[in-house]
Amino acid sequence: MATPIPISPTVKCLALFIAAPASGQGKTTVTAALARLLSRQGKHVRVFKTGPDYLDPQILAQASGHPVEQLDMWMAGEGYCQQKLYEAAQTADIILVEGVMGMFDGDPSSADLASRYNIPMAILMDVKGMAQTAAAVVIGLANFRDDITVAGLIANNCSTERHRELIENALPDSLPLLATLERSDQVALPERHLGLVQADENTDELERRFEAGADWLEAAGAANILERLTAVEFYPEIMPAIAPLLEGVSLGIAKDIAFSFIYESNLRLLREMGAELFFFSPLFDEALPEVDALWFPGGYPELHAKALSENHTIIKHIKAFFEQDKPILAECGGLLYCLQTLTDLEGAQYPMAGLLEGHGTMSGKRGCQGMQTAQLPEGDVRAHAHHRSRCVEAPEPIAYGRRQRHSAPGEAIYRCRQLTASYLHLFFPSNPSAIAELFNASEVHMLEAQASEC
């Protein structure tokens, strides 16, 4: 366990929030490139990602050289986010926070987070096809609320010196043009149907793009942005002590290119509760580690369905584990793997582990996403859903997710013996005791599992 950071009343650290008027403006590309540029200059950079996201943090972690966690005031709580920022500020030279969607989208939004922790925002905007209008949009965004501080504009896809002049001359002195970035195919990050391609799938290519991105920003003078910033004061939050509720429990976690949607916060909590973690690959391993419980997180099983279906040996071990009434949690892609079959994006159907009745089918571009509370028998756990598939012919759910701001039932939650499966991705720190109970194979739970029908 890591040595606790000594608590001081407050700590000051430079901080910058990368926001945008919409998705697709280049937030992750620029945040990753800036993190690499500053790291290359010898600065200790800590990066956070706003909202529930797995793919962007993987990219940002590789770019910065440090783990990247999510900040979401609904999912994690204001105190939790405050403490994470405070801890980062203890050692960082600068904290970067990447926003989500448009800066005012969602509840809480990127602007809400920046306002709550007094972090200045740089508005990143793709200015292709506009000039003075870009200044008008930024002025409107900066003045939409009086509780945020906007440091200025980073103009992406700013093609010429004349283009830059038109935008800069239209901006007031209070909203400087921080940097202008020419279009570059060398820095764009590869994408697929749920977002960016995972970092582990193309590490070398990403390294080339990070370095090119750092050069791109350096040529644009982006490093000078820091000279315009003043240090932000971060305060500690007194958080409840983490009880050793999983002391002596060993947990096997599926982790490979098919299963990788894992919050760093979840892993840290499990370790703090005393669990011993073992990682394994349903794609490549032939046996499970010797553990008391299993966790199949989300990921891209649809891209590896054939290989997963052909690993008969580990499926045999997983079925035996399930039949021993040991705890299993399966989230989203993990749910698809636990079903009888999975039909991939090309329409090919493959047998899966078959722990739960039902069939998974990819549904192309249409999908489901949103914040929900998983109403588990063990207690409510904050969560989110993001998928482009359907689960059909499954058993009757034991519960449904409760949507953040809508009365319609959320994602179905299934339980068969001691398997709990849903499309929901759980944020473990929102209810540590419920998570501990979920993974703890008590005698009472085993008797209940043996008596259950599914």
* Amino acid code (one letter) for 302: E
Residue 404 to residue 398: CA distance in whole angstroms:
19
Shortest CA distance to 332 belongs to which of 380, 374, 378, 293? 374
Instruction: Say if strands 409-416 and 419-422 run parallel, antiparallel, or are unpaired.
Output: antiparallel
Shortest CA distance to 423 belongs to which of 363, 379, 351, 378? 363
Residue 216 to residue 253: CA distance in whole angstroms:
38
Instruction: Give a three-class secondary structure readout of the chain.
Output: CCCCCCCCCCEEEEEEEEECCCCCCCHHHHHHHHHHHHHHCCCCEEEEEECCCCHHHHHHHHHHCCCCEEECCCCCCHHHHHHHHHHHHCCCCEEEEECCCCCCCCCCCHHHHHHHCCCCEEEEEECCCCCHHHHHHHHHHHHCCCCCCEEEEEEECCCCHHHHHHHHHHCCCCCCEEEEECCCCCCCCCEECCEECCHHHCHHHHHHHHHHHHHHHHHCCHHHHHHHCCCEEECCCCCCCCCCCCCCCEEEEECCCCEEECCHHHHHHHHHCCCEEEEECCCCCCCCCCCCEEEECEECHHHCHHHHHHCHHHHHHHHHHHHCCCCEEEECHHHHHHCCEEECCCCCEEECCCCCCCEEEECCCCCEEEEEEEEECCEEEEEEEEECEEEECCCCCCEEEEECCCCCEEEEEEEECCEEEECCEECHHHCHHHHHHHHCCCHHHHHHHHHCCC
Q: Name the active-site residue from 13, 81, 158, 332.
A: 332
Supply φ then ψ for residue 231, to 5 degrees. Answer: -65, 140
Shortest CA distance to 96 belongs to which of 223, 183, 218? 223
391 is a catalytic site residue: no
Active site residues: 332
